[in-house]
Amino acid sequence: MKKLLLFFAMSVPLIAHGAWIDSSGKPVADTESMRSAGNFGVQIMLTPDDKQFRQTWNSTMSTPNLNTTDTVHLGASVTAVLIFHGCSPNAAGVCDVAAEFILESPDGTKMPAGGGPVWSAAPLQDGLLQLGQASMTVGFDKTDPVGDYKVIANVKDKISGRALNLIARLKVTK
């Protein structure tokens, strides 16, 4: 496990032309775990403690120290969370963003891992990030293979039609 101190740009990003940008205003290129389409952007993160992650996110700290990981031991679990910006509201002023999660094992086998609403409320003001409601928790027992896994999130803004596919890599160890 490792602690990831999110940069100011990740805790309160500015949005220029819909893309992620850093604190100096320069565009940040999409990665497999952080993508954007127009003004809609999503990032997937893995945490060993979903409850603590959400409490920290909801704290009053301007730059929260979020506990993330890319490794989990057999006998433990990890939760995938989604952070987003820029959802499109419908005529009633409400967004409709949903996600489907897939877990890909070291041998390439893909297993559906649930899904649900990421956000079904009014959008936040421009420039602010929101922690999504949907998440996926997966536990690994002694019978699971060790190796490199992928947590895949297919996220769709149902109002704008924009869809993003994200990947968080996870190493499962003994």
Residue 47, pLDDT > 50, answer: yes
Q: Which pLDDT belongs to residue 59?
A: 87
Q: Which pLDDT belongs to residue 20?
A: 80
123-136 confidence digits (pLDDT tens): 988 878 899 999 99
> 172 CB contacts (<8 Å, ≥6 apart)?
71, 72, 73, 74, 106, 140, 144, 145, 146, 147, 148, 149
* Mean pLDDT score across all residues of the chain: 87
Residue 3, pLDDT > 50, answer: no
Higher-pLDDT residue of 18, 110: 110
pLDDT band at 19 (very low <50, low <70, confident <90, very high): low
At residue 90, φ and ψ (nearest 5 deg) are -85, -170
Residue 27, pLDDT > 70, answer: yes
pLDDT band at 16 (very low <50, low <70, confident <90, very high): very low
Q: Please list the helix, strand and coil fractions of the chain in percent, rounded to the nearest 5, in that order.
A: 5, 50, 40
Q: How much is the pTM?
A: 0.86
Q: Which pLDDT belongs to residue 119?
A: 96
| Mean pLDDT lowest among 30-39, 52-61, 70-79 | 52-61
Per domain, the residue ranges of the chain are 2-173
58-93 confidence digits (pLDDT tens): 887 667 789 999 999 999 999 999 999 999 999 999
If you ran DSSP here, which 8-state letter would residue 51 be given? H
Architecture of the domain defined by 2-173: Sandwich (2.60)
Beta-bridge mates of residue 116: 99
